[in-house]
Amino acid sequence: MLNNCKAVEIAKNIFWVGAVDWSLRNFHGYETSRGSSYNAYLILDEKVTLIDTVKIDFADEIISRISSVVDPAKIDVIISSHVEPDHSGTLKKISELAPNAEIITTNPNGLKGLTARYGNLNYKTVKAGDSISIGERTLQFVPTPMLHWPDSMVTYCPEEKILFSNDAFGEHLATSMKFDDENNLEIILAEAKKYYANILMPFGKQAQTALNALGSLEIKMIATGHGVIWRKNISKIIECYKYWSSDEVENRACIVFDSMWHSTEIIAQTITESFARKNIPAAYYDLKFNTLSDIVTDIFKSKYLVVGSPTINNQMMPTVAEFLNYIKGLRPLNHKGFAFGSYGWGGQSIGLVEEELKAAGVEIILDKIRIANLPTIEQLDEISKTICQNI
Ligand code: FEO
């Protein structure tokens, strides 16, 4: 597609050459209501260096932006921080335009992943502590395995004090303004938390290891792989990552359920109000009306997770199964909860929900609540009393 996209200079001779995906609403299942961006950076030095590429759909856009400041054939070094195709998708196309470029990646996982996807290109592998000189600037490599793929790494430029952080510290946000201080901080931090919860939650330990490795660096800019570039609120986002990656949870509850004919819904309402009566704020999520990405962002730091489903064909409802499957993968830490639901006959769903909660690492603190047909006022009062006495 013919376009006239330009590079954006973010520091002297360092350019953002990425793409803004304004219309993205789903990133492999993660609901991205504010779109996203795939950030790539071009450094004009003695060796022209490109840090990451973009999703293949935006190949023309990145090539146009690079071409606005330099002939792509002059690129000497391409740093591939992460194999996932939102960052590496245009690697082959750009390497064809820059046949002399050396592609830097981690060993063995970056090398394996890139070779599998793009064949034998001009790869050079690096490990922790390795650095290269590109002229006036040095680039130091810090592998960050499982943050969030085995191949992931970040790159630090000591002369500029810029950390090129790829997936870390980013958020899915499409914006025409590149820096944090040019955007609404509340929205950025909310999206960064959503990003952490949905992408990085299982990797808290690895995040803490990476934060320790980066702790000694003086950073004046974090050039992320998605969303805004941090230059004003650097300590804020680092503090957020320290907290998000910790085991700490807040005294809050999330009640998540689906309902067929309102019986499980009525129980959910009673449970929500019972937590509130104990001065524990509780959020109420009917799976018919809320996205998994948003629910998970709230569950992430909530101490209590209570999940309900009626029984359908001897199973839990498919929406609840999908939710629990997602939670099992994300493995929230230090959560407590229980299962509830109504049934017409059989009532197997509530036991199945409890088993799935256990499999997700949730500590079961109350016996499952099983109500046949429609709950009575007396049964709801009993549920409320049990919660108030035992939570
Ligand atoms: Fe932004 Fe893991 O890719």
User: What pLDDT does residue 190 have?
Assistant: 98
Catalytically annotated residues: 28, 82, 84, 86, 148, 167, 195, 226
Q: What is the pLDDT of residues 279-321, one digit of tens each?
A: 999 999 999 999 999 999 999 999 999 999 999 999 999 999 9
Q: Which of 18, 45, 50 is nearest to 155 (CA)?
A: 50
Atom of ligand 1 nearest to the CA of 170: 1
CA distances from 136 to 45, 48, 58, 265 (A): 7, 11, 30, 64
Name the residue among 236, 40, 251 with its Cα closest to residue 155: 40
DSSP 213-270: HHTTS--SEEEESSSPBBSSSHHHHHHHHHHHTSS--EEEEEEEE--SSSHHHHHHHH
Measuring from atom 1 of ligand 1, which residue has the nearest CA?
Answer: 167
Cis peptide leading into residue 202 (ω within 30°): no
Q: How far is the CA of 152 from the centre of ligand 1 (A)?
A: 9
Over range 130-139, report the average pLDDT: 98
Q: Under DSSP, is residue 196 helix (H, G, I), strand (E, B) or coil?
A: helix
Q: What is the pTM of this model?
A: 0.96
**Atom 3 of ligand 1: nearest residue by CA position:** 84
Q: Is the CB of 87 under 6 A from ligand 1?
A: yes
Extents of the domains making up the chain = 8-244, 250-390
Ligand 1 atom nearest to 199, measured from its CA: 2
> What is residue 181's DSSP assignment?
G
38 Cα–ligand 1 center, Å = 9
HSE, CB side, 13 Å, CA atoms: give it for residue 362.
Answer: 30
Q: How confident is the model at residue 2 (pLDDT cuts 50, 70, 90)?
A: low
Task: State how far the Cα of 303 lies from the Cα of 313, in Å rounded to an integer.
Answer: 32
pLDDT at 177 over 80: yes
State residue 1's pLDDT score.
67
CB 194 within 8 A of CB 208: no
Pocket lining: 171 vs ligand 1, CB cutoff 6 Å: no
CB-ligand 1 contact for 34 (6 Å cutoff): no
For the chain, what is the mean pLDDT?
97
pLDDT in tens, 6-24: 999 999 999 999 999 999 9
Percent composition of the chain: helix, strand, coil (DSSP 3-state, to 5):
35, 25, 40
Q: Which is nearest to 237 in space by CA: 297, 156, 171, 153?
A: 171
Ligand 1 and 82: CB distance under 6 A: yes
| Fold for the domain defined by 8-244 | Metallo-beta-lactamase; Chain A (3.60.15)
For residues 289 and 320, the answer to whether their CB atoms sit within 8 Å is no
The phi and psi torsions of 207 (rounded to 5 degrees) equal: -65, -40
Which atom of ligand 1 lies nearest, measured to the CA of 148?
2
Say yes or no: domain 250-390 is CATH 3.40.50.360: yes
Answer yes or no: is pLDDT of 249 > 70: yes
* Cα of 43 from ligand 1 centre, angstroms: 21
The closest of 145, 187, 150, 195 to 169, measured between CA atoms, is 195
CA of 196 to the centre of ligand 1 (A): 12
Relative to the CA of 166, which ligand 1 atom is closest? 1
pLDDT band at 343 (very low <50, low <70, confident <90, very high): very high
Q: What pLDDT is stored for residue 3 in this prediction?
A: 83
Residue 318 Cα, ligand 1 centroid: separation in angstroms? Answer: 28
Lowest mean pLDDT among 30-34, 76-80, 210-214: 210-214
How far apart CA 7 and CA 18 sit, in angstroms, is: 8
